[in-house]
Amino acid sequence: MRNPHLKQKRDRRLVKMFYELYDVKRKRMDDVLVELSEDHFYLDTDYIYSRIFYCKENHDYYNELLSNGNN
């Protein structure tokens, strides 16, 4: 059975790592998704993308990171 708390923790970490690789280190999006998929989370790249950009809670967190990073 899936633990929703662990899924939320995983997603937060996923978004944070995406932000660091894509927005801070300025790597290409496809390279970032492959790295997250193959080296860190072992999830499909499409699933990672959808968890970041189509899940409201995760997308809000990503936008929060973006706005805090520009200050």
Query: Which pLDDT score, from 0 to 100, does residue 26 have?
Result: 97
Using 70 as the pLDDT threshold, list the residues of the chain that sit under it: 70-71
The pLDDT assigned to 57 comes to 97
Confidence at residue 69, expressed as pLDDT on a 0 to 100 scale? 76
Which pLDDT does position 2 carry in this prediction?
A: 81
pLDDT of residue 71: 55
Token pair 């080296």: residue: 39
Residue 55 φ/ψ, nearest 5 degrees: -95, 115
What pLDDT score was predicted for residue 37?
97
d(CA 71, CA 24): 13
Q: In the prediction, which pLDDT does 50 show?
A: 97
